[in-house]
Amino acid sequence: MRDTETPQIPQIPQKRPPKTYTRLTHPLLRDARNKPFRQATWEEVLDRAADGFARHRGAFGMFSCARATNEMNYVAQKFARVVMGTNNVDSCNRTCHAPSVAGLSAAFGSGGTSSYEEIEHTDVIVMWGSNARFAHPIFFQYVLKGIRGGARMYAVDPRRTSTAQWAESWLGLNVGTDIPMAHAIGREIIHAGLVNEAFVARATTGFEEYRRLVEPWTLSLAEKATGVPGGVISEAVWNELRSVSPDHYGMTYERLEEHRGIQWPCPSTQQLEPTYLHGRLRDPDPRQRGALAPFGLVAHDPPVDLTDERFPIRLTTRRRLDSYNTGVRSGGFASPLRRGEYVELCPEDAERYGVAVGEEVRVSSRRGSVVAPVWIDTALRPGLAFMTMHFPDEVDTNQLTTEANCPIAGTAEFKASAIRIDRLPATATAQVG
C-alpha cells in the first residue's frame, strides 16, 4: 500500500517569505486608529479596555477560538451574558461545523460524531466531501488502520484528493450536486432490494416519504446532474448510517482521570456505555434503542452562483495539509509543503488560458477579484479550480466567495463560486517552470 508518511514533495517556488508571529513582552496601545502602537503599562491598557467594554455594553459580540477548551468557552459565555449583556458567542464552528451539526442533529438528535475506534473496525468507509488526509490527518491514521484491516473506502469529491487515492472507488461529482448523488444511491439501494427492512422499521421514521423523494433520481438523471457515469454510481457500496443521541452526564472529572478519557455517550455515572456510538439502533429492545432516526428529506438546490460565459470556472475552497484555516497559528512555522496561496487549475484549463506554474493571474467573481499565482494540479477536472483560505494577507480568497447562505445551517456557500481567469500584462510576474 502507499506510504502516507513519505509523500513525494515537489520543488516549490518560494515567492514570499512566510509570515511570522512573535510573542509580546509588554502591553501595546494606540491612541487612535491611524496611530502606531506604543508601549504602555498594564494599568493603562486595562483601564482602556474596561472603558471600551462599558461603552459597548449591549452592542457586543464575542468571538471564541477553535482551540478554546470547554472551561475557556464557559468563562467566555459567562462574561458575554453577565458583563456585556449578550447571549452571542461566535466562533469558526459556525462556519466549519454548522452544516455537519445541522445534518447530524436532524437525523440523530445531536451533532456529535463517532469514535476513532469505530473506523478501525468497520467494513466500509465513505469519505463524502472530506479530504481527511489533509484536513484531519490524525483521524486519517485511524482510517488507514481500518483499510489495512480490510475495510473498503469510497470517496465522493469533486477533486481526486490524496484521500481519494486510498479509496477503492472515487466518484468525482460536480460541485453542488451532492443531493442528486445521494438520492440516486438511495434509489439504487431501494430498487436493488438491498434495504435492511427490519432495521428501517425498527430504528427510523419517514422512509416512505424518502422513497418517494428519491424515486425520480434515476441513474441517467443523476449522471446529467453530477457528471458521474450511472454505472459508477450503481456499483458503489455504502454502509448504513447510525444515529446518535449523545449525553455527557456521566463524564465527571474524576471518571475521566480514572479511565484516561471516556468515549461518549456516557449518560450514567454508574457504568460505561459501549464504545460504539450508534450501536443502540441495532438493539432488539425498543427501550434500549431509544429515539428512531428519521430519513433526511432534502430536495436538490443547485449552487446559487451559476457558471456562465463570463464566469465559466467553478471555484471550490478547502484546506491543505501544511496550514489551518486563516494561518494565524500554522503560519508561524516553516513547512517544506507550504507554497503560499495559488489558484490551482487542471492542465487542460492552464493550456486553454495559456498560463504556467508561478505566473500570476487575476481571479474574478461577481463579488471581487484577487491576484494569485498559478499551480497546475492533475487531480482537478476541466472547469474546476481550487484555492484555500490560509493566506488572506497575500491573497484574500474570500473576496471571491458568495454571501449566499444555506437555509438550514446558515453557513455561506464557500465551496461553489463562479470565477474567471484573466492573464495579467506581460510586465507582471515572470513565469516559474
Domains and CATH numbers, the chain: 39-91 (no CATH), 98-235 (3.40.228.10), 313-423 (2.40.40.20)
Higher pLDDT, 335 or 314: 314
Read off the pLDDT band of 341 (50, 70, 90): confident
Please tell me the predicted confidence (pLDDT) of residue 83.
86
Higher pLDDT pick, 224 / 239: 224
Q: Has residue 401 got a pLDDT over 60?
A: yes
pLDDT bracket for residue 2 (50, 70, 90): very low
Residue 25 phi/psi, 5-degree rounding, is -110, -10
Is the per-residue pLDDT at 116 higher than 60?
A: yes
**Exposed / middle / buried, residue 425 (Cβ in 10 Å: 0-12, 13-18, 19+):** exposed
Q: Does residue 80 have a pLDDT over 90?
A: no
Report the alpha-carbon distance of residue 156 to residue 283 in Å, rounded.
30
State residue 179's pLDDT score: 92
Query: Mean pLDDT highest for which of 168-182, 220-234, 408-422?
Result: 168-182
pTM over 0.95: no
- Split at pLDDT 50, 70, 90, the class of 244 is very low
pLDDT, mean of residues 356-372: 92
State residue 209 phi and psi, 5-degree precision: -65, -40
Supply φ then ψ for residue 131, to 5 degrees.
-100, 70
Q: Looking at residue 4, what is its pLDDT? A: 44
Q: Is the pLDDT of residue 232 over 60?
A: yes
Mean of pLDDT values over 362-370: 92
Residue 429 predicted with pLDDT over 60: no
Question: For residue 373, is pLDDT > 60?
Answer: yes
Mean pLDDT of the chain: 80
Beta bridge partners of 205: 294
* pLDDT at 355 exceeding the cut of 90: yes
Is the per-residue pLDDT at 164 higher than 80? yes
Separation between Cα atoms, residue 383 and residue 369, nearest integer Å: 18
pLDDT of 44 higher than 90: yes
The Cα–Cα gap between 142 and 122 comes to 11
pLDDT band at 77; cut points 50, 70, 90: confident
| Range from 5-19, 154-168, 238-252, 419-433 that averages highest in pLDDT | 154-168
Model confidence band, residue 372 (pLDDT cutoffs 50, 70, 90): very high
Eight-class DSSP state of 337:
T
Q: Which of 67-71, 130-134, 178-182 shows the lowest mean pLDDT across its residues?
A: 67-71
C-alpha cell at 382: 476541466
Rounded CA gap, 145 and 276, in Å? 17
Instruction: Give 226 or 23, the one with higher predicted confidence.
Output: 226
Per-position DSSP letters for 363-400, written without gaps between them: EE-SS-EEEEEEEE-TTSPTTEEEEESS-TTT--GGGT
More confident residue, 143 or 272: 143
Query: What local confidence, expressed as pLDDT, does residue 338 receive?
Result: 52
pLDDT class of 298 with cuts at 50, 70, 90: confident
Model confidence pLDDT, tens digit, residues 82-98: 888 888 788 777 777 77
| Phi and psi angles of residue 430, each rounded to the nearest 5 degrees, phi first | -75, 150
Round to whole Å and give the CA distance between 394 and 251: 44
* pLDDT (0 to 100) of residue 292: 84
- What average pLDDT does this structure show over 381-386? 91
